[in-house]
Structure 1
Amino acid sequence: MFGLPGIMSKGVSGESVGARNRSHSSSKANNSKKSKTLTYLLWLIGGVCGLHHFYLGRDLQGVLWWCTFGGYFGFGWLRDLFYIGEYVADANKDEKYMKKVDYMVRVHEKIAVCSFDLVKVLRSHLLRLRRDRIVYKYEQTGYRLSTFRPEESPRTFCRECNQPNGCSIPPHSSALYGGERDRVPTETYPRFVGRVWANNRLPPFSTVRFTGMVVVAYLFSTVVSLAIPEDNVGGLSWQWLHIFTPLAAALGVWAVGNIGHETGSLKWPLICAYLVPMVGNPLKSFIFDKWGYDIDESTSFAIMILSAAWSFDHLEKRWRPKNQKTPGTFKRIIVISMCCLLYMALWSSYLYFNAKVTDEEGDEVPFHEALGHFFSSPWWLDVKQSFIDVWQFAQEHGWMETWRQIVTLSDPSGEQNAFKVLELRSGATQTEIKNQCRTLAVKYHPDKAKDDITKKDVQNRFFEVQQACELLSNSRAKRRRRNKQFNEEL
């Protein structure tokens, strides 16, 4: 990264490894240990609702899993199966895992800044440090931007790793050499340059995270757009609420971007989400007048979401601070409940005001009217009465007897349906079954059909009769064998 040489080990990015380990051990002592077994169990039971994330304190990811039914219909839920070990280690502040995170942060701190920020850095150097020389130097881990003053006294450096005043690495030569090398006059360095450098300690690009930003932003903005009533409600038009659609897209991008060890503010995604519709409408008219190409609403929608995700990934994201306080349990419950209630309210608004059901004649009926008609339909009344009868029977005879009756009525062996096919009462004798099988076999024989259409129907009926006769015959044979074996044992 183009940066300040001395600050990498101490300064803006830099607490020592010992200090980091001490902070990890202290937070580890304060927090209760999370069980990996319990996490897997919660993942299995309520993982699609984010239950395991709530247990580990990953509330934002848990809410997203709840809103998207397991990370976009179960994809995130399945992916969590391979990352639960890391999630538990992160929640417990495991020392090995935190060292791995520290190493990842240090490696990705040294990426190059973008050209826009580099121009600011160079301009600040030239204006405020006229006598300094700007040196671009390639190191093993990347590029750095550094300065030194020729009039300052030279320092000694290790021949191998170029560390000032030697190093403690045994394979390296202990011989030192002097000379002018990279120096950082931190007391004269512009504060603006330090902020620019600090803000460009970017985490690496993640395809999964960027895709999640786009998907969740599309979902949130679509839900908000659908929830706004299309018709007047209370004599008022609510179409002006569409101004919150870009806000929903920015919130979706921000929510995914703040999962795990990465964080960022809402500023740039929000600006880009609102800037695209503001600039896009005049630009759309210009393109149509100039080239005759009409940019439809879905294309503008996609551009808004992609611009918000790109702005967060390139302008906002950074590593999450280590000493960030965890909110209390009561506050967590309140925030999670409000988010879930808001999401449910949006879907309820869509179902009540805008959702429609198409009947058999092709007419559209509002969903809330269709739902009211459903609860007054004969089918639902019969089902409701059946549940009432089951409940009353269970109160009189107990739930075990009720279960036996349910199993009997469900006809697991298929005998009840076989008697129905043969047009016999339940429990008919073997003689009655044989006589009826002969009668129906003659009646529905395919050779008696007059045309092809009738022949196909008769043939299907003939096969049903044959299967029913075979099923009842086998059932009676099994029953006789069991009775014979029982009598022999007696």
Structure 2
Amino acid sequence: MAKRVLVAYALWAVGGPLGLHHLYLGRDSHALLWMLTLGGFGFGWSREFLRIPAYVKEANQDAEKERKPRNAPPPVSPVRFAGQVCVGIYFGTVALIGLNSLNFFYLIVLPLSMGAGVHLVSNVGQQTSDLTKTLTACLVTSPIFYGSSLSPLPISLAASITATQHRRFKPPRTPGSQNNLGPRLYRLSLAWLAFSAPLGYCIFHNTTATLYYLSDSIAALLDIFWFLPGLRGALEYILLIPYRILCVLTGGGYYDEAWKKVLEILLREYTEREKTALKVLSLETEASLEEINRSYREMAKTWHPDHNPNRDAEKMFVKVQEAYEVLLRWHKPHRFT
């Protein structure tokens, strides 16, 4: 049966972030990508409002007649390339959270996970790429940045460039293949399970460690933009979107402050570095800025090399100075408001 634009829009509105409209149109790779990223982190889902008619037309053309193979590669798409990089980093981050205890993680597990994310974006729509070469680019790049917290970025860039260089159109579909909903859902379920199972295991069995990791990541992200309160506010708004959606679905109060308080507590969790700084200055976890300044002045005076002949005085004075700078950053204005 011919696909209808109104049905596609209805599914986009009801379950767009889960890829229901793509599943309806036979775009299984796109549907899986949306399931794993909640609609391309929300941005891709909103962008599709104007693209759905083209998706429906493409699906109906495939159903009416067999698509002819094309030898020329598809044009380069900056949006697709950006999506490859972002999803590659996203898959790498998920692997870091859920699979970093595995042997040879940085040499095998991390690059393969990121290569799968990049290839998933490469496979959206009528395009695809060479999976083997994409994974090879990841495996070759990973040892160069072994163990670095920034390694997902260069690995994802290398994989995305390789995938773009080897882009091509998919071969024609087998007539009636998109009508086999059962096998399609089965494959999508297996793919979703393979992605979510390690992350779910990590969340439920390492809850505390996961929360600390998330709080440190969010706090570090917001800390970058502490001097731009407008941008910081926009990022915080995005973080609160899941709560607002929950309120709409459950009929709860949209302006309830409960989630904001939870988020504030989460973001105010001290990192390990800040806990060490508190110990150096002999302070409690809820120390005020005034208490931090007072303790710093007292300890700096005590351990200053000009006043303390102890040979470890200079080393301790440097520790006191570094601890004070760490805690001052934590008390930057507008960081958590």
The answer, yes or no, to whether TM exceeds 0.5 is yes
Match of 1:221 in 2: 92
- Does the alignment pair 1:356 with 2:208? yes
How far apart are residue 322 of structure 1 and its match? 2.8
Matching residue within 51, 55, 65 for 1:87: 55
**Contact 1:229–1:350 (CA<8 Å) still a contact in 2?**
no
1:297 aligns with 2:148: yes
Which of 156, 162, 169 is matched with 1:319 structurally? 169
The alignment status of 1:258 with 2:109, answered yes or no, reads no
Change (3 A) 1:221 1:270: same
Shift of 1:358: 10
TM-score of the pair, normalised by structure 1 = 0.40
**Equivalent position SS for 1:298:** coil
**What TM-score do you get using the length of structure 2 for normalisation?**
0.56
Match of 2:38 in 1: 69
Query: What is the aligned length?
Result: 214
Residue among 58, 61, 68 paired with 2:27: 58
Q: Alpha carbons of 1:229 and 1:306: their partners in 2 closer, same or farther (altered >3 Å)? A: closer
How many percent identity over aligned positions? 32
How far, CA to CA, are the matches of 2:56 and 2:145 in structure 1? 45
Equivalent-residue separation in structure 1 for 2:91 and 2:210 (angstroms)? 26
Letter of the 2:44 partner, please give it.
Answer: G
CA distance in 1, matches of 2:100, 2:149: 20
Structure 2, unmatched stretches of 5+, are: 214-252, 254-337
Which residue, out of 43, 48, 67, partners 2:17? 48
**CA distance, structure 2, for counterparts of residue 63 and residue 279 of structure 1:** 31
8 A contact 2:97–2:210 mirrored in 1: no
Q: Which has the higher helix share?
A: 2
Residue in structure 1 matched with residue 4 of structure 2 by the alignment: 35
1:12-411 correspondence to structure 2 within 5 Å: 32-72=1-41, 74-93=42-61, 201-228=72-99, 230=101, 238-242=102-106, 243-280=108-145, 297-314=148-165, 316-324=166-174, 326=177, 328-356=180-208
Give runs of aligned pairs for residues 403-422 of structure 1, distance below 5 A: none
Q: How many angstroms does 1:267 deviate by? A: 1.0
Q: Secondary structure at the match of 1:213?
A: helix
| Aligned residue identity for 2:141 | V
> What is the rounded CA distance, in whole Å, between the counterparts of 1:41 and 1:47 in structure 2?
9
Cα drift, residue 229 of structure 1: 6.1
Q: Which gives a bigger RCO, structure 1 or 2 (Cα 8 Å, sep 6+)?
A: 2
Shift of 1:222: 1.4
Matches of 1:331 and 1:265 in 2, distance apart?
Answer: 24
Measure the CA separation in 1 of the matches of 2:55 and 2:194: 27
Answer whether contact 2:141 2:155 (CA < 8 A) is retained: yes
Structure showing the higher strand proportion among its residues: 1
Amino acid of the residue matched to residue 224 of structure 1?
A
> Does the CA contact (< 8 Å) of 1:50 and 1:65 recur in 2?
yes
The whole-number CA distance in structure 2 between the counterparts of 1:323 and 1:43 is 24
Residues 125-184 of structure 1: CA distance to partner in whole angstroms, max 9, x if unpaired? xxxxxxxxxxxxxxxxxxxxxxxxxxxxxxxxxxxxxxxxxxxxxxxxxxxxxxxxxxxx
Runs of 4+ in structure 1 over 4 Å off? none
CA distance in 2, matches of 1:64, 1:358: 24
Q: Which amino acid aligns with 1:50?
A: G
Mapped contact 1:226–1:354 kept (Cα < 8 A): no
| Cα distance, 1:324 vs structure 2 | 4.6
- Separation in structure 1 between the aligned mates of residue 194 and residue 82 of structure 2, nearest angstrom: 24
Q: Is the contact between residue 122 and residue 129 of structure 2 (CA under 8 Å) also seen in structure 1?
A: yes
- Gaps of at least 5 residues in structure 1 are 1-31, 107-197, 231-237, 282-295, 366-409, 411-490
Q: CA deviation at 1:239?
A: 3.9
The CA deviation at 1:312 is 0.8
Q: 1:253 to 1:351 in 2, by over 3 A?
A: same
- Amino acid of the residue matched to residue 110 of structure 2? T
Aligned equivalents of 2:155, 2:18: Cα separation in 1: 28
Give the aligned partner of residue 298 of structure 2. none
* Superposed CA offset, 1:208-243 (max 9, x none): 00011111111112112210265xxxxxxx344452
